[in-house]
A and B are shown apart, each in its own frame.
Chain A
Amino acid sequence: MKTTQHTELTFKQGCSEGIPIFVGYFPTAMAFGLICRDLGMRIWEAVLFSMTTFAGSGQFLAVSLIKGGAILAELFISVLLVNLRYSFMGAELNRNLDKNVHGLSRVLLAHGTTDEVFSVAVLHRRMIPKGYLAGLELTAYSGWVSGTGVGFLVGMVLPSELQLAVGVTLYAMFSALFAQELRQKGLRVLLISGFSAVLNSIFIIVCKLPVGWSFVIAMLSASVFGALITKDEEVQP
């Protein structure tokens, strides 16, 4: 930690620490752009989606619910729940943030909160100046938004035979996220998401529940199940 104690947390430093996040976001956002196109959106709608929501899992969830024919209330509640972790990250960021941040800059900095931005900023373990956080968030944001547009354009040149197979993109993306979580956090990830997968399948195939509500109930039940089988110190935001 010696080196980080001496770095000046400036706007420029924030931008440079944001570059790895940019590189990580860009291809994921491309996948998102591709899915939006597959769903019949226009390019400005896909880009606007990324600009206004700026939350990977929330956006992927939203498009999957739109695709599944969920009603708007289901969509709203599901996105709210899956993004709830940002409230905890924001609380931690806010504790460390320069106290003189008000008004519009506060709103924009809140909008820029993501998992990766949170980890990088909070790991400095000291007061976070406004400029630094702005640079970090802006770099991450530009990767996410530009990647969405590029992914959409790539989808336009795809041969038509591949179009049906592209329907697997969303699932492949969640499967890859699952594998990464599994590698980092171990078997309980399989238990919790397996539990919710089985519940959701029963709700939809056997009980014929609407997709959105089925999703919400399966997710909430599995998180309670998960909390029962997980030790306190294993749960990080």
Chain B
Amino acid sequence: MNANIPFLVPILLSAVATFIVKAIPYYASFLDKLPPFISKCLRLLPIAALGPLVFPGVILDFPSHWYAGLAGILVAGFIAYRKRGIIFPILLSIVVTYLMLL
């Protein structure tokens, strides 16, 4: 993000984008009439988003130790798969990444 833009701008922009999609169904009904294939694609968007949210950022963010973040997310994923809850996997992943960066 351009350093000259205050955080307020992306914050409000994301609020507007989210409110639009949340409010549409309360005021319009075309969503019930979309072709089934399109609505199937739309429902899969959150899963499709997970991949690019992690890669390649998790590797590029630690240029001196490319494996540090990778080790962190593997631990987080493994723990989260075995147990419910989100804060413990994240904390453990920070510890692992910290140790890898030492």
B41, A224: Cβ atoms closer than 8 Å: yes
Q: Does A200 contact B (CB under 8 A)?
A: yes
A53 to B10, CA, bound (A): 11
B50, A94: Cβ atoms closer than 8 Å: no
A contacts with B: majority SS: helix
B48, A90: Cβ atoms closer than 8 Å: no
The answer, among B45, B55, B76, for a CB contact under 8 Å with A85, is B45
Q: B98 CB to closest chain A CB, in angstroms?
A: 4
The answer, among A30, A166, A195, for a CB contact under 8 Å with B94, is A166
A106 to B2, CA, bound (A): 36
- Interface-central residue, B36, B55, B97, B101, by most chain A CB under 10 Å: B55
Q: What total of A-B pairs shows CB separation below 8 Å?
A: 305
Interface residues of A in 154-212 (CB under 8 A from B): 161-162, 164-183, 185, 189, 192-201, 204-205
A-chain residues with CB within 8 Å of residue B78 when the two chains form the complex: 179
A223, B42: Cβ atoms closer than 8 Å: yes
Segment at the B interface, from A7-15, A41-49, A121-129: A41-49
Q: Does A140 contact B (CB under 8 A)?
A: no
Q: B4 CB to closest chain A CB, in angstroms?
A: 12
Q: Does A131 contact B (CB under 8 A)?
A: no
A28 to B7, CA, bound (A): 21
Q: Does A61 contact B (CB under 8 A)?
A: yes
A-chain residues with CB within 8 Å of residue B10 when the two chains form the complex: 62, 66, 72, 75
B-chain residues with CB within 8 Å of residue A45 when the two chains form the complex: 7-8, 11
A82 to B15, CA, bound (A): 13
The answer, among A61, A176, A214, A232, for a CB contact under 8 Å with B40, is A232
A-chain residues with CB within 8 Å of residue B48 when the two chains form the complex: 192-193, 195-196, 218-223, 225-226
Q: A31-B87, A48-B8 are in contact. List 8 more A-B contacts (CB 8 A).
A: A31-B86, A80-B21, A91-B25, A110-B19, A170-B53, A176-B79, A200-B51, A204-B60
- 26 A–B contact pairs at CB < 8 A? A31-B87, A52-B11, A52-B15, A66-B1, A72-B13, A75-B1, A76-B13, A76-B14, A83-B18, A87-B24, A94-B25, A165-B98, A171-B72, A172-B90, A174-B50, A175-B89, A178-B50, A192-B47, A192-B48, A196-B48, A200-B55, A215-B49, A227-B37, A227-B40, A232-B36, A235-B44
The 6 closest A-B pairs by CB, nearest first: A197-B51, A200-B52, A196-B51, A90-B25, A52-B15, A176-B80
